């Protein structure tokens, strides 16, 4: 390499370091790239699962794949370049499932009308972000509730790993299906893949090894074991269909529908408040938060969250959310928007290839990330519960954290957990022993969450 080329390379790397403030967040370009790849590998399954779900509403599968890919990559890119945060943004499975199975199948909206309700919910979210209500709520959440949310996020991430490996299941009513637990599910091929990925990630995560790409290696190793244990199945070519058939197909005539505001409220509340829990939980005990627990550039992140949902509806997909799998990249060392930029570029490349070569998307199945998700869930849980100040036995904070985690595990939902935590801290704020003023907003958002849960049921 010539001196001129070397100088240009050094100047480019220096520019990247200064733009993303790598020194401030105690990270490096190498670490951020590894974290971005790891984040992508942990959530790549969304580009298979989300189009499969949305197609059940009548959206063309290829168009649903393109809508998922382009909206997720653009939003994640904005999260990296503008907000400088290591969060990946994509259509949430909870949102997609509600869109298909409730809004379209149960309420009998057309998918075009359903996309209009998604768009309106995003507009409402953006308006309240512009006011600075959402930021004020985040800033004023009690420290005890922040730790409880972090513990719950850890439990939920681990539950996702157990769920996609089929080691736990849930009934249509949203409760854990204990009847489905048997030797076959606990010792079958998918369970073996999960346990193998967990073992590799835990081994490579040992401090004495100091292996920075451990989680990425664990996902790839688990994918190889998956293809060894489970025979390949034929998949329909992703190139079939029309790529833009769902673009700009929103049907706003739904404004006259008597139940129009019901899905809007559910989409809005889940997007608006569930994101708060993820922002707090995933960045806890990292350099992303300052000493007071605040996250830099949170305002921009909230804008990306809301605008991403509006953009996603125009492309033809359900609400976009900050993916909880971003925690995998954060635990791999990702601290800045460079992690999100790397993930976004891989989204574009991976899905573009998948549009024409379907097997590309199945090389890293969802189950390959299951063990890493369980391991990351443990890391998040332990970082909040044990460090730097352990939760005291039988303390109010510990009791709430335990119940919130149990709700997340048993119901596979963060909204119910967050609603319980908010109501708990609102109730105790009236007691003199807390020496705290009643927080009206706790009751307000807890009521909104409770209403959304009731409506969505």
Residue pLDDT, tens place only, 163-213: 888 888 777 666 777 766 766 677 788 899 999 999 998 888 776 666 666
C-alpha 122/C-alpha 116 separation (Å) is 10
**Which pLDDT score is estimated for 234?**
46
Mean pLDDT of all residues belonging to the chain: 78
**Does the pLDDT of residue 94 top 70, yes or no?**
no
Closest CA to 76 of 91, 56, 62, 98: 91
- What is the average per-residue pLDDT within 422-428? 79
- At CA 138, angle to CA 132 and CA 139, rounded to 5? 85
**Which pLDDT score is estimated for 349?**
83
State the residue for tokens 């157990």.
Answer: 162
SS3 191: helix
- What is the average per-residue pLDDT within 412-439? 69
CB atoms < 10 A from the CB of 240, how many? 10
Range with lowest mean pLDDT among 166-170, 195-199, 228-232, 349-353: 349-353
CA 117 to chain CA centroid, nearest Å: 21
Beta partners for 321? 90
pTM of the model: 0.74
C-alpha 277/C-alpha 80 separation (Å) is 20
> Using 50, 70 and 90 to split pLDDT, how confident is the model at 342?
very high
Q: Name, of 68-72, 182-186, 266-270, 391-395, the range with top average pLDDT.
A: 68-72
CA distances to 118, 128, 220, 268, 374 from 306, rounded to whole Å, are: 11, 10, 33, 9, 29
Report which secondary-structure segment, H or E, holds 431.
none
Beta partners for 170? 176
C-alpha 20/C-alpha 257 separation (Å) is 46
Rounded (to 5) percent helix, strand, coil in the chain = 70, 0, 30
> Using 50, 70 and 90 to split pLDDT, how confident is the model at 6?
low
Please give the full DSSP string across 2-65, using - where no structure is assigned: -HHHHHHHHHHHHHHHHHHTTTTTT--HHHHHHHHHHHHHHHTTHHHHHHHHHGGGT--HHHHH
> Using 50, 70 and 90 to split pLDDT, how confident is the model at 235?
very low
Query: What phi-psi label fits residue 211: left (phi over 0), alpha (psi between -120 and 50 degrees) or beta?
Result: beta
Contact assessment for residue 51 and residue 267, using Cβ atoms and an 8 Å cutoff: no
> Using 50, 70 and 90 to split pLDDT, how confident is the model at 319?
confident
């Amino acid at each position: 390499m010539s001196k001129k080329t070397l100088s240009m390379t050094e100047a480019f790397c220096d520019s990247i370091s200064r733009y993303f403030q790598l020194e401030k967040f105690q990270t490096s370009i190498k670490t951020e790239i590894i974290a971005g790849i790891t984040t992508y590998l942990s959530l790549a399954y969304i580009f298979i699962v989300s189009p499969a779900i949305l197609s059940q509403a009548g959206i063309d599968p290829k168009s649903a794949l393109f809508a998922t890919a382009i909206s997720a990559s653009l939003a994640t890119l904005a999260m990296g370049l503008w907000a400088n945060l290591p969060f990946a943004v994509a259509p949430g499975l909870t949102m997609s499932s509600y869109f298909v199975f409730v809004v379209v199948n149960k309420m009998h909206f057309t998918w075009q009308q359903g996309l209009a309700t998604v768009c309106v919910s995003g507009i409402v979210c953006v308006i309240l972000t512009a006011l600075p209500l959402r930021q004020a709520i985040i800033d004023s959440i009690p420290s005890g509730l922040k730790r409880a949310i972090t513990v719950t996020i850890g439990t939920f991430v681990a539950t996702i790993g157990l769920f996609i490996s089929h080691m736990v299941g849930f009934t249509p009513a949203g409760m854990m299906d204990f009847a489905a637990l048997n030797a076959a599910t606990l010792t079958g091929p998918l369970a073996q893949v999960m346990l193998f990925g967990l073992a590799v990630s835990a081994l490579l995560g040992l401090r004495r090894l100091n292996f920075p790409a451990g989680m990425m290696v664990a996902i790839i190793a688990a994918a190889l074991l998956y293809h060894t244990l489970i025979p390949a199945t034929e998949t329909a070519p992703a190139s079939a269909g029309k790529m833009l058939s769902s673009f700009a197909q929103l049907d706003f005539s739904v404004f006259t529908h008597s139940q129009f505001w019901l899905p809007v409220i559910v989409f809005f509340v889940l997007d608006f408040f569930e994101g708060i829990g993820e922002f707090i939980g995933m960045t806890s005990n990292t350099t992303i938060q300052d000493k007071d627990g605040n996250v830099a550039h949170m305002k921009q992140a909230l804008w990306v969250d809301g605008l991403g949902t509006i953009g996603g509806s125009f492309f033809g997909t359900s609400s976009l959310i900050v993916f909880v799998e971003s925690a995998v990249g954060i635990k791999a060392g990702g601290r800045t928007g460079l992690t999100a930029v790397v993930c976004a570029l891989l989204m574009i490349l991976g899905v573009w290839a998948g549009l024409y070569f379907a097997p590309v998307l199945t090389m890293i199945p969802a189950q390959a990330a299951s063990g890493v998700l369980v391991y990351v869930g443990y890391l998040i849980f332990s970082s909040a519960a044990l460090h730097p100040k352990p939760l005291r036995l039988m303390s109010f904070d510990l009791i709430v954290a335990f119940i919130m985690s149990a709700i997340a595990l048993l119901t596979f939902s963060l909204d119910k957990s967050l609603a319980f935590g908010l109501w708990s801290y609102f109730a105790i704020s009236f007691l003199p022993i807390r020496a705290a003023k009643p927080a009206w907003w706790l009751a307000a958002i807890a009521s909104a969450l409770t209403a959304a849960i009731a409506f969505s049921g």
